[in-house]
Amino acid sequence: MTNNNGKMNREEAGRKGGEATAEKHDKEFYQEIGQKGGEATSEKHDKEFYQEIGQKGGEATSEKHDKE
């Protein structure tokens, strides 16, 4: 989708960039950047951070599924 002056909107630019990246890189690339991101996150956050996001994920999952 483009705006009135012929430029792409942010959503379209992001989608096109993501598609171009996916064409240039393989599974190992995504595994490596995922690992780097996980390591950086673990260096910046403590145990309570992971407990909180785990609890939020569990609550979201339980809301989507039967509680039986």
Per-residue pLDDT tens over the stretch 16-59 = 999 999 999 999 999 999 999 999 999 999 999 999 999 999 99
Confidence of residue 66 (pLDDT cuts 50, 70, 90): confident
Is it the case that residue 1 has pLDDT exceeding 70?
no
Rounded to the nearest 10°, the torsion over CA 7, 13, 15, 21 is: 140
**How far is residue 51 CA from its own chain's centroid?**
19
Is it the case that residue 67 has pLDDT exceeding 70?
no
Per-residue confidence (pLDDT) for residue 2, from 0 to 100:
64
- Of 19 and 3, more confident: 19
